[in-house]
């Protein structure tokens, strides 16, 4: 029986042999397969059309039906660019078998707004968080060095602070004043430390020199030791079927994060899923904390959190290590402790 993950692999393989419009359609469908809400094989069993699935038209539906009826050979080891990604359908199965897990979630700790590269206003993102029953969300818009993503400077960050304060007057979900600090390859940020210290939370991420093939351990150690950040965002920098991401001595990086009581992130965006389950198992052994964020630019994409929750569950991360499981007051105390260290 082929899973949605298997179909994503077959679609990606087929795209490699196709050209033009068909190639693009196959690639889009391969990515879309991660967000199909149920297994494609179940639709076929119940007589429903595969065209109900996002990214699937009549021609691709015929191709997938043929695969489901007569499963083709799948490589024993998948292409590294597509390895160890969860589908929404498989994540929901895992979460369904452990119903006590998801209700622990108090909030989402990475998302973007119109202030940088998102489409939702802060009020709209807060409303989406409230619909999910969150106690808090963190608006982590990009900082000024990442101009391609509309990064904001210190003055804009202060203006955003005023808007967040206004939203918090009426929102049942607290919006945390946060930022995704753009880190250079030396682990240095691009914003004034005093401006960052006034925020509730700072996540730091690499957005450049992400295709290096040599060991990048020192870069990560420098980032973890950066006193301005509390969370290391999407650590590997991988993107599905596009970029493998960086290599490092991960046990050493995670051990340093544990020593400083900092968190490493599960970026739940479907194309990222970074950290993945394999690296999360190493993080679990190190004893470091875990943060989960959707990296969502649009309110509906807060549902991506299920991929991160399932990854943490499958990696057997202890609940007390996941900072999203902390009530707001405890989360704030953790940030204070990390900054003091």
Is 81 inside any structural domain?
no
Report d(CA 159, CA 109) in Å as an integer. 21
CATH classification at residue 263 = 3.20.20.140
Shared domain check, 55 and 120:
no
d(CA 266, CA 105): 14
Is 87 inside a domain boundary? no
Last residue of a domain, one of 26, 58, 76: 76
Domain boundary among 57, 76, 95: 76
Sequence-ordered list of residues with C-beta below 8 angstroms from that of 113, at least 6 positions apart, any chain: 120, 121, 122, 125, 139, 141
Evaluate whether residue 97 is within a structural domain. Answer: no
In a domain, 95, yes or no: no
Q: Which of 76, 94, 121 is the last residue of a domain?
A: 76
Is 92 within a domain?
A: no
Same domain, 45 and 146: no
CA–CA separation, 155 vs 81, rounded Å? 39
Which one, of 75, 29, 12, 70, lies nearest residue 242 by Cα?
Answer: 12
Per-residue pLDDT of the chain (341 residues; tens, 9 = 90+): 899 999 999 999 999 889 999 999 999 999 999 999 999 999 999 999 999 999 999 999 999 999 999 999 887 778 889 999 999 999 999 999 999 999 999 999 999 999 999 999 999 999 999 999 999 999 999 999 998 999 999 999 999 999 999 999 999 999 999 999 999 999 999 999 999 999 999 999 999 999 999 999 999 999 999 999 999 999 999 999 999 999 999 999 999 999 999 999 999 999 999 999 999 999 999 999 999 999 999 999 999 999 999 999 999 999 999 999 999 999 999 999 999 98
pLDDT tens readout for residues 71-128: 998 877 788 899 999 999 999 999 999 999 999 999 999 999 999 999 999 999 999 9
pLDDT at residue number 85 = 96
Establish if 88 belongs to a structural domain: no
**Which pairing describes strands 231-232 and 263-267: parallel, antiparallel, or unpaired?**
parallel
On whether both 68 and 111 belong to a single domain, the answer is no
Pair 304, 187 in one domain? yes
Instruction: Give me the residues paired with residue 263 across strands.
Output: 231, 289
CB contact at 8 A, 221 and 249: no
Residues in the chain, overall count = 341
Q: pLDDT value at position 74?
A: 85
pLDDT in tens, 250-283: 999 999 999 999 999 999 999 999 999 999 999 9
The rounded radius of gyration (Å) of the Cα atoms in the chain is: 20
Residues 57 and 113 occupy one common structural domain: no
Task: Give residue 239's domain range.
Answer: 103-340
| Per-residue pLDDT, 1 | 86
State the Cα–Cα distance between residues 201 and 263, nearest whole angstrom. 11
Query: What is the C-alpha to C-alpha distance for residues 321 and 25, in angstroms, rounded to an integer?
Result: 40
129 and 207 together in one domain: yes
Domain check: are 72 and 108 in the same one? no
What is the CATH number for 53?
Answer: 1.10.150
Task: Please check whether residue 90 lies inside any domain of the structure.
Answer: no
Q: Judge if 107 and 72 occupy the same domain.
A: no
Q: Are residues 311 and 264 in contact, defined by beta-carbon separation less than 8 angstroms?
A: no
List all residues 6 or more positions away from 155 whose beta carbon is below 8 Å from its beta carbon. none
Domain check: are 213 and 67 in the same one? Answer: no
Instruction: Quote the number of domains for the chain.
Output: 2
* 322 and 175 inside one domain: yes
In a domain, 253, yes or no: yes
66 and 180 belong to one structural domain: no
245 and 280 in a common domain? yes
């Amino acid at each position: 029986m082929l899973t949605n993950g298997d179909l994503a692999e077959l679609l990606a393989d087929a795209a490699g042999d196709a050209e033009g419009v068909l190639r693009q359609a196959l690639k889009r469908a391969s990515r879309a397969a991660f967000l199909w809400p149920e297994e494609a094989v179940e639709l076929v069993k119940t007589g429903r059309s595969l065209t109900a699935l996002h990214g699937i038209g009549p021609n691709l539906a015929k191709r997938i039906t043929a695969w489901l009826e007569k499963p083709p050979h799948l490589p024993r080891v998948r292409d590294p660019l597509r390895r160890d990604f969860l589908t929404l359908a498989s994540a929901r199965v895992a979460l369904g078998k452990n119903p006590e897990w998801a209700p622990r979630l108090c909030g989402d700790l990475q998302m973007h707004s119109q202030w940088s590269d998102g489409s939702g206003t802060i009020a709209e993102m807060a409303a989406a968080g409230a619909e999910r029953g969150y106690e808090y969300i963190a608006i982590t818009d990009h900082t000024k060095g990442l101009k391609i993503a509309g990064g904001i400077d210190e003055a804009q960050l202060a203006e955003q602070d005023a808007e967040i304060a206004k939203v918090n007057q009426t929102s049942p979900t607290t919006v945390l004043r946060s930022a995704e600090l753009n880190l250079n390859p030396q682990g240095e940020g691009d914003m004034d430390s005093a401006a960052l210290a006034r925020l509730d939370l700072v996540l730091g991420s690499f957005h450049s020199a992400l295709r290096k093939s040599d060991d990048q351990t020192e870069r990560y150690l420098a980032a973890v030791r950066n006193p301005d950040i509390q969370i290391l965002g999407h650590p590997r920098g991988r993107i599905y079927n596009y970029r493998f991401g960086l290599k490092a001595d991960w046990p050493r990086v995670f051990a340093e994060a544990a020593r400083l009581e900092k968190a490493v992130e599960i970026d739940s965006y479907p194309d990222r899923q970074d950290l993945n389950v394999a690296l999360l198992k190493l993080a679990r052994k190190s004893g470091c904390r875990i943060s989960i964020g959707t990296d969502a630019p649009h309110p509906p994409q807060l549902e991506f959190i299920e991929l991160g929750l399932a990854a943490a569950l499958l990696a057997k991360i202890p609940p007390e290590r996941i900072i999203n499981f902390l009530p707001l007051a405890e989360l704030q105390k953790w940030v204070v402790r990390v900054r003091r260290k």
